[in-house]
Amino acid sequence: MTVQFTAPTLQTDRLILRAPQLSDFEAVAAFYASPRSSFVGGPISAELAWRSLAQEAGHWVLRGFGRWTVVEKATQKPVGIVGLWLPEGFPENELGWDLFDGATGKGYATEAGKAARNFAYNTLGWSTVISLIADGNDASRGVAKRLGATHDGAFTHERFGSMQIWRHPAAEACA
Amino acid sequence: MTPPVLYTERLKLRGLRPSDTEAFLTYFQSERAEHTGGPMTAKAAWRHLAANVGHWSLRGFGMFAATRRDSDDIIGIFGHWFPHGWAEREIGYVLFNAADEGQGLASEAVKACRKHAFDTLGWDTAVSYIAAENTASIRLAERVGAVRDDAAAQPDTAYEVVIFRHEAAR
């Protein structure tokens, strides 16, 4: 028996969080081609961006959780990738967010991040979660602060380099 | 997308599972992976595993884990591979351990994958991209009746490949 775990769909006021799919490729490739991806290993080629999208989908099967493609309700367009991440070598369960070009400054990362964190605490039963933020990524650190996370150490990522660990409020505090 | 299960005389081809992680990572970290994209770090190998699993979600087909019929231990990955940058759809094969070589197991798995490609997936042709110096893999392609096709378009790979073509009639 092979269990193919598929991401459940979540909704917030302005956003839909759904499973990554092939039709997201154009948006994902554009993100990974842009300077915006410099804090998460980019810019990288379209070929590597495709494999990255495949990894997003595969993570759900291997871990039973993963990251969602975030779709803007108003336009039905993908605006980012947000969710729960634990690849080999991560120090612990992570909540991560990547917003595509043009989707910043609207509070989308915070809104989607809250939904993903609620899923981690209320559905998966996690008691704690961190976010890894590359040194110098001020915008992402701002999202962590808005989500109530606090600086809690350092981590050296194999590809992304030196990162800060930001720890989110515990499950009880988010209830 | 739930991968189907294919059976051959001695092998079972099924979807990759979390329990395959250790063997998958061990192979791709080893020198044996020098012609299949490795050796790579454990972290990179895990991401490669995730990409193999996610390929099924994106394409509706992908690489299977091969096990002996009476065991659940993965001995290699065989199947259908078409990431962005590939010129054509590929039949791929990787046998993890030297101890499993020389028994015709890889040929058996490749033939089953080819039959699945033509009979079930509806492909009318397929290629195998093989690193030019991977003589064992080239011998296997020849053994299953694939023919070298130097006119075929090169895929976007980090290393030069020779291309073997599988035809539906074989």
What average pLDDT does range A144-160 have in this prediction?
95
User: What confidence tens digit (pLDDT) does each residue in B84-123 have?
Assistant: 999 999 999 999 999 999 999 999 999 999 999 999 999 9
Task: List, for residues A11-39, the tens digit of each pLDDT value.
Answer: 999 999 999 999 999 999 999 999 999 99
**Residue A170 in domain:** no
Does the residue A62 lie in any domain? yes
Tell me the two tokens of residue B155. Answer: 């895929």
For A41-66, write each residue's pLDDT tens digit. 999 999 999 999 999 999 999 999 99
- Give me the mean pLDDT over the A139-164 stretch: 95
Q: How far is B16 from chain A (nearest CA, A)?
A: 8
Angular region, B39: left φ>0, alpha ψ -120 to 50, beta rest: beta
Q: Is B157 on the interface with A (CB under 8 A)?
A: no
Q: Is residue A133 in a domain? A: no
pLDDT bucket at B169, cuts 50 / 70 / 90: low
| pLDDT for residue A4 | 54
Give the residue numbers spanning the domain of A74: 10-126
Q: Does A152 reside within a domain?
A: no
H/E element, B136: helix B135-143
Q: What percent of chain B has pLDDT over 70?
A: 99
Count of A-B CB contacts under 8 Å:
97
Residue B143 near residue B108, CB atoms below 8 Å: no
Question: pLDDT tens digit string along A124-133?
Answer: 999 999 999 9
* Contact between A88 and B25 using a beta-carbon 8 Å cutoff: yes
Kindly tell me if the per-residue pLDDT of A1 is higher than 50: no
Question: Which residues is A163 bridged to in the sheet?
Answer: A134, A155
Say if residues B13 and B66 touch (Cβ distance below 8 Å).
Answer: yes
Which residue on chain A is closest to B25 by alpha carbon? A88
Q: How far is A39 from chain B (nearest CA, A)?
A: 18
Three-class HEC string of chain A: CCCCCCCCCEECCCEEEECCCHHHHHHHHHHHHCHHHHHHCCCCCHHHHHHHHHHHHHHHHHHCCCEEEEEECCCCEEEEEEEEECCCCCCCCEEEEEECCCCCCCCHHHHHHHHHHHHHHHHCCCCCCEEEEECCCHHHHHHHHHCCCEEEEEEEECCCEEEEEEECCCHHHHC
User: Residue A38's domain is classified under what CATH number?
Assistant: 3.40.630.30
Token digits of residue B95: 């046998």
The two tokens of residue A78 are 């993908």
B-facing residues of A in 127-146 (CB < 8 A) are none
Kindly state whether A161 is in contact with chain B, defined as any CB-CB distance less than 8 angstroms. no
Is pLDDT of A6 > 90?
no
pLDDT, one tens digit per residue, over B30-76 is 999 999 999 999 999 999 999 999 999 999 999 999 999 999 999 99
Q: Which residues make Cβ contacts (< 8 Å) with residue A80, sequence separation at least 6?
A: A69, A70, A97, A98, A99, A100, A103, A108, A109, A112
> Is the predicted pLDDT of residue A172 greater than 90, yes or no?
no
H or E stretch covering B7: strand B6-7
Cα distance between residue A168 and residue A63, in whole Å: 21
Instruction: Tell whether A80 is covered by a domain.
Output: yes
Q: Does the beta carbon of B2 lie under 8 angstroms from any beta carbon of chain A?
A: yes
A91 within some domain = yes
Q: Which of B43, B51, B83 sits opposite A158 (nearest CB)?
A: B43
Chain A nearest C-alpha distance from B143 (Å): 31
What kind and span of H or E run contains B128? strand B125-131
Q: Is A135 a member of any domain?
A: no
Collapsed DSSP state (helix, strand, coil) of residue B2? coil
Inform me whether the pLDDT recorded for A175 exceeds 80. no
Q: Give the per-residue pLDDT at A151.
A: 97
- Per the structure, the count of domains in chain A is 1
Cβ contacts of B83 on chain A, cutoff 8 Å:
47, 50-51, 54
Collapsing DSSP states into helix, strand and coil, what is residue B33?
helix
B143–chain A Cβ distance below 8 A for any pair: no
CA of A45, closest CA in chain B: separation in Å? 10
Does any domain span residue A58?
A: yes
Q: In this complex, do B45 and A53 lie within 8 Å of one another by their Cβ atoms?
A: no
Strand positions, DSSP E, B50-124: 63-68, 74-81, 90-95
Contacting A residues, span 103-132, partner chain B, CB-CB under 8 Å:
none
- The average confidence (pLDDT) of chain B is 96
